[in-house]
Structure formats: C-alpha cells, structure tokens
Amino acid sequence: MSEAQRALGMIPTAQEDTQNTAAKLLELQKAATAMQREDKNAEWAGINTYNQAEIPPVMMAKLYSALYSLTIPHALMLAITAHRRGLNPEDGDIYVLPSGKIGTSLQGTLKEAKLNGYKLSAPVFTDVEREWPKGATFQPRIAGTKEIGVKCNMTINDQPVEYTAWLTNWFMEKNPNWSSRSDWMLRVSAQKRCLALGTGIGVSEDIVDVDATSPAVKMVEPKAPKEIPSGIK
C-alpha cells in the first residue's frame, strides 16, 4: 500500500480500522441496551392503569411474586383472594401463610367485617393474670410471677363477644414483636379472635388442616418462651 493511496483515503489506516470497530461495537451495545429496556417495559406492559380492578390477575400475580418473593401460583391465589374479598396485600390486609393458605391481619379482618355490613363497637381491653398452666416451660425472672393475658370485650351487631389471649397460647418465639411489646401483641390477638368469633372471618386460620405427611408442609409445635419477654411489665 503506497503513501499516495493512504493520502487519498482509499485504504483505511490501522488507527481508522480500530476507530471504526469501536464505533460499531458502541452501536451494537446501544441497540442491545434498547432491546433489553423494551423487553423490561414489555414485561410490565399489562399494568397500564391505576385501577387495580382493571389489571389482569396474572399481572397482579407477577407483581406480588416480585414484591413478596412468592411462587406464581401463590401470588395468583393472593391476587384472586384480594379481588374477591376487597382487601389489599400491599396494605397488609392479607398475606400467604407458611402452610400456603391465605392469612388475614387484624386490619384486614376489621376492613372485611365493615365491608360485609357488621356493626362493630370499639374494643375494651382488660389486663388479666393467672397462675402458670401446669407443665408450662416458662422460667419467670421473679419467683411467684403469674402469667399475663389481655381480655377483649366488644359487641358485634349488638351481641357481646369476649376473648382472652394468654401468653402461653399466643407467644411466637421467632417474632421479635412478642419479645419487645408483648402487651400490644396480646391486644391484637385478643381483638382479632373476638372478631373471628363474632363474624366468622378467619375463624379457622390458626387451625392447620393439611395433611401432616405432606413434604410441602412442616408442622412445628409452638414453644413457650424460656422466660417472660422483656416487653412485659
């Protein structure tokens, strides 16, 4: 290749070859990025409205799966249940239990009861105590300390309903709220059971009626704490 040919620009130099290759690679990278962005947008294209009722169930299932690390079947069940009952998982109304069933929070139970036309009074809570049940595994810090509980009284459709939540019945060792604010958790448990007894909403949620031999479900017996949680005064 002569200097004259190079001067006329008829044959590219090595530097020009490198520049052309780099420019083409950059164009390819931009195209690939644009395609990935389009694919991402297309993945959520089914959610094109703020009205949840207009979003297809499968799209809601994909959303719940991404948000809460659920399988698609569980997420789809959650989406269908939310639509049917008028409750919102994103607000904490309902959630998927370890057994795979749908659980309802106190907030969700109150909301559903009002949606179904139940007349609810404000709850009245009473702190109660009793001797430790025989065989309880608690080790109280102070000798003679009694087990505490919270009694909830309320009326549902003008009918009185009462439930007492005891620590030995409801304490959940793996839930830090029970150690840091047991009094609050007992009130939540007591009110929720009152609502369940008076309305039937979630009345059997805590009864696991699945095949205990199923490998998909691990049955765990609740354990009482070794000592009274620090949240108890």
- Mean pLDDT for 60-65 is 91
Model confidence at 26, in pLDDT bands (50, 70, 90)?
confident
Which among 48, 72, 77, 52 has a CA at the least distance from the CA of 62?
72
Residue 224 has pLDDT above 50, yes or no: no
pLDDT attached to residue 106: 94
- Residues of the chain with pLDDT > 90, as a percent, come to 42
Radius of gyration of the chain (CA): 30
Out of 44-53, 95-104, 222-231, which region has the weakest mean confidence (pLDDT)?
222-231
Longest dimension (CA), the chain: 107
Domain range annotation of the chain: 3-43, 119-233
Query: What whole-number distance in Å separates Cα of residue 209 and Cα of residue 72?
Result: 23
pLDDT attached to residue 92: 93
Q: What is the pLDDT of residues 6-22, one digit of tens each?
A: 555 555 566 666 767 77
Residue 59 has pLDDT above 80, yes or no: yes
- Mean pLDDT for 207-221 is 40
Model confidence at 121, in pLDDT bands (50, 70, 90)?
very high
**What letter does residue 222 receive in the DSSP assignment?**
-
Is the Cβ–Cβ distance between 104 and 93 less than 8 Å? yes
Distances (CA, A) of 58 to 39, 161, 208: 18, 40, 28
Query: What whole-number distance in Å separates Cα of residue 119 and Cα of residue 158?
Result: 7
More confident residue, 39 or 191: 191
Which among 99, 78, 62, 85 has a CA at the least distance from the CA of 217?
99
Residue 136 has pLDDT above 90, yes or no: no
Question: Torsion-angle region of residue 35: left (phi > 0), alpha (psi -120 to 50) or beta?
Answer: alpha
